[in-house]
Structure 1
C-alpha cells in the first residue's frame, strides 16, 4: 500500500535540489548565512559526478570547453572507438540544438572573451578552498602542488606554450618544462614525454572526503538531507496569463516541490529553490517550463592502491604533482595511498536512454594512453570492473550557469560546470548564497547568467 503524501520541511527557507559539490557548497554558505536548508538528491549524497573525479582545483583551466578546433577533433575522434572524446549519435532534438549552439561558440573570439571570467572565478574558488581547509570542523586532504600538462607531440607542446603565454598575460604563474626540468620536479617517476607545462598555483583534494565532511558538518548544524528522492513536479504561483512560465514578464514563484522516495511521496515547501542537480538540470528545468541547455558528458575513472605491494602489479608512482596526459586527455591524481586515473568525454549519453554502462573501448583507450606516457604502468594487471563513471553537466558555451532564472523570482540555478565542478564548488555555493541573501556577489555574474541563452523569450 502506498504511503500517504506528507508535507515535509515546511519551515525550511531554502531547498537545494542536488547533493553534489555544488549543492553541498550552496547549503554550506547558506547555513553560514543563517538560513535553514534542506538538500534533496535522486541518489546518495555526494556519490554522483562529484565522487570519482580527478579532484582538481584548476585556475589553469581558463579555456572553455567550447574552444577552437573542438568540432574538428570531435569529428576525427568519432572514427576512433578508443578516443578520449566521443559524440554518441542521437536524434534527440535538445541534444542536436545543444551541438549546434556548441559549434557556434567554438571560436577564438569566444575563447578570448571567456578567459578572464573563468580564471577569476577559479581563483576566487581556490581562495575559498584555502579557507575551508583552515576550518577546524572540516577534514579533507588539500594539496597545492600545482598541475603538470604532459606532451608527446611537438604540435601539442607548441599549443600549450601559447596557453602558458596567455596564462602569464592574465597574471597566472605558468612555465614550460623540458624533460630534464620535469625530472628535477618529479625525480621518482619516469615519463615518456618531450616536455610539459607547469601551473604551480593549481591544487587538488580528495573529493569524497570533502563531501562527507561537509555533510557531517551540515547535519550537525540542522541541515536536512533527503536521499534517493526524485523531484517530480513543482507547485508554482503565476501572476500572468502567458502561454508558459517562460513567456511571462510578471514575477512568478515556486511554492513547493513534490518528490517520490520509493513508496513514499512528499512535498518540500521553501521560500527559495536552488537547482543544482548537474547533468539532470535540463530535464528538471522542463518541469518548470524552462529550457536549460545542459547535456551530460560522461567521464570514467579508476582509483588504484599506490602503496608498493606485490599484489598490486600495476606499478606504484611516487609523485606529488597531479598531471594530465594531454593529447590523451587523461588526468592522474595522487592521493595519500591511492592514485586516480580519469578521463574521456562522451556526449549524448542521456539522450540515448541514459547509458550508464562503461564502454570497454573507453576503458581500453584510457589504459593504453596511460601506458604510452608511463612506461612503468601495467595495464594488463588492472581490474577493469573497478572503473567508475559519472555525468558532467556541460553548457554549450563552456561556461557555468549561475544566477536567478527568469521568470521565477525565487529560483537560482547553478549548473553547467563541465570538468570544473569540483574546482568551482565553493565559489558557486558562495555566489548562490549571495544571490539569495541579496549581498554583493563575489564575481560579476554576467558571463554566467542563466538567461544568456534566451531566444525570443525562451532559453534555448
Structure 2
C-alpha cells in the first residue's frame, strides 16, 4: 500500500448510529479524526438492536446462490416462507430482484465468497481492537453453536455448504451428534430433533448493549453522537461537504436500509435493497445452553441474560412498509 497524496480529513460526519456507523466513527478517531455521528432516531435503534448478535464466520456467505433459485419462486411469494417477496410494482425493487437472480450462479457465488475472505479474517480482530481501546462491552464464546435437524437428511445442505467452504480455504470446525446424544447435548430441544451439528470457535454479542458501549466510547474520546438528527440532504462544497448545516471534510453514509436517498445525492447509482428480518425476545422455562440455529426455517435463538432472542427470516419490501404479523405467526 502507498500513502494517499490527498490530505486526510480532519472532520467527518457519520450518518447512522448503528454498529457500522459507530464502529466507523471509533476507528476514524483512532486515526485522529474529529467525528460527529448523526442518527434520525438514536443509538442502536434499528437492525443493530434487533439482530441475533452472532459473529459467525462459518455462516458468512453471499445470499444470492444457486439454491435460492432451486428453492422456487412460488415459495418466495408465500408469507410463511423463510424468504418472502411481497407482490410489488416498485420498479426499483423489480430491477434489484432481476439483478439478484442473475447473481444466483455458482461462479458468481464463489467470486463473492473469495472477496469476503479478507473481511471475515479481519472481523474478530476488529472487535478485539475496540475492546482493547476502551469499549467496555465484550464478545463471548458461542461454543457450541448448535444447528438442529429433524433428520440426518435435513442436515445435508448445511454439510454440503461446509464442504464448499473448505474447498475455498475456509474450513469449519464442527461435530455431528445423532439420536439421544443430540438431544442430551442441548436439553432445550424436543424429541423431534434427531441430529445436531455443533459449530466451534464462533462468538456472539448482546447487540444493543455492544453498540451502546461503542457510542459511549466515541463520546468519551471527544466525539459527538447526535440522536434525533435526521439528515435529508448533503451538499458537496469546494473543500468538503455540508451536512445538517455544518461543514465537514467528508461524510460517511452508514444508515443501512435508508441509504438510497442520500447515496443518490452523492452520485451512487447502485441500488441498495433493504432485507427485513423479524425478532422478538422472550422468557423461557429452560434456556438453551448456547445459540441455536434452525436452518430450514432460517430462525435462530440467542440466549441474552435471562431471555432468548428469536430472530430470522428475510423479506424484501419497501423500507418504510409496516411490519407483517404473518411473518412472526408463521
Same structural fold, with TM-score higher than 0.5 when normalized by the shorter chain: yes
CA distance 1:234–1:133, shift in 2 (3 Å): closer
Q: What corresponds to 1:216 in structure 2?
A: 216
Maintained 8 Å contact 2:80/2:327 = yes
Q: Distance in 2 between matches of 1:280 and 1:190?
A: 40
CA distance 1:90–1:137, shift in 2 (3 Å): closer
Q: Distance in 2 between matches of 1:126 and 1:100?
A: 34
Q: What corresponds to 1:231 in structure 2?
A: 231
Maintained 8 Å contact 1:332/1:340 = yes
CA distance 1:318–1:237, shift in 2 (3 Å): closer
CA distance 1:118–1:181, shift in 2 (3 Å): farther
Q: What corresponds to 2:51 in structure 1?
A: 53
Q: Distance in 1 between matches of 2:177 and 2:42?
A: 42
Give how far 1:185 is off. Answer: 3.2
Q: How does 1:431-442 map to 2 (within 5 A)?
A: none
Maintained 8 Å contact 2:144/2:200 = yes
Over the aligned positions, Cα root-mean-square deviation in angstroms equals 2.3
Maintained 8 Å contact 2:241/2:249 = yes
Of 183-192 and 79-88, deviating more is: 183-192
Q: What corresponds to 2:26 in structure 1?
A: 28
CA distance 1:148–1:158, shift in 2 (3 Å): same
Give how far 1:137 is off. Answer: 4.4
| Aligned with 2:12 (options 11, 14, 27) | 14
Maintained 8 Å contact 1:179/1:193 = yes
| TM-score, structure 1 normalization | 0.65
Q: Distance in 1 between matches of 2:200 and 2:190?
A: 20
> Is 1:355–2:324 an aligned residue pair?
no
Number of matched residues?
A: 320
Secondary structure (helix, strand or coil) at the match of 1:77 reads helix
Secondary structure (helix, strand or coil) at the match of 1:109 reads helix
* Residue-by-residue CA offset, 1:63-84 (whole Å, 9 max, x unaligned): 2101112134362324532222
Q: What corresponds to 1:274 in structure 2?
A: 252
Secondary structure (helix, strand or coil) at the match of 2:271 reads coil
Q: What corresponds to 1:66 in structure 2?
A: 64
Q: Distance in 1 between matches of 2:181 and 2:246?
A: 57
Q: How does 1:168-247 map to 2 (within 5 A)?
A: 168-169=166-167, 170-187=170-187, 189-190=189-190, 192-237=192-237
CA distance 1:220–1:45, shift in 2 (3 Å): same
* Residue-by-residue CA offset, 1:78-123 (whole Å, 9 max, x unaligned): 4532222111222222111111110000011122222233244223
Secondary structure (helix, strand or coil) at the match of 1:51 reads helix
Displacement over 3 Å in runs of 4+: 130-137, 153-156, 187-191
Of 207-216 and 166-175, deviating more is: 166-175
CA distance 1:237–1:79, shift in 2 (3 Å): closer
Q: What corresponds to 1:293 in structure 2?
A: 271
Of 321-330 and 183-192, deviating more is: 183-192
| Aligned with 1:42 (options 4, 21, 40) | 40
Q: Distance in 2 between matches of 1:143 and 1:300?
A: 24
Q: What corresponds to 1:303 in structure 2?
A: 281
Give how far 1:201 is off. Answer: 1.8
Give how far 1:274 is off. Answer: 0.7
Give how far 1:281 is off. Answer: 1.5
Secondary structure (helix, strand or coil) at the match of 2:232 reads strand
Q: What corresponds to 2:83 in structure 1?
A: 85
CA distance 1:318–1:217, shift in 2 (3 Å): same
CA distance 1:160–1:216, shift in 2 (3 Å): same
Of 225-234 and 66-75, deviating more is: 66-75
Maintained 8 Å contact 1:137/1:217 = yes
Q: What corresponds to 2:6 in structure 1?
A: none
Give how far 1:291 is off. Answer: 1.5
Q: What corresponds to 1:255 in structure 2?
A: 241
| TM-score, structure 2 normalization | 0.88
Q: Distance in 1 between matches of 2:191 and 2:112?
A: 33
Give how far 1:142 is off. Answer: 2.6
Q: Distance in 2 between matches of 1:316 and 1:123?
A: 37
* Residue-by-residue CA offset, 1:13-36 (whole Å, 9 max, x unaligned): 111111110000001111122110
Maintained 8 Å contact 1:145/1:204 = no
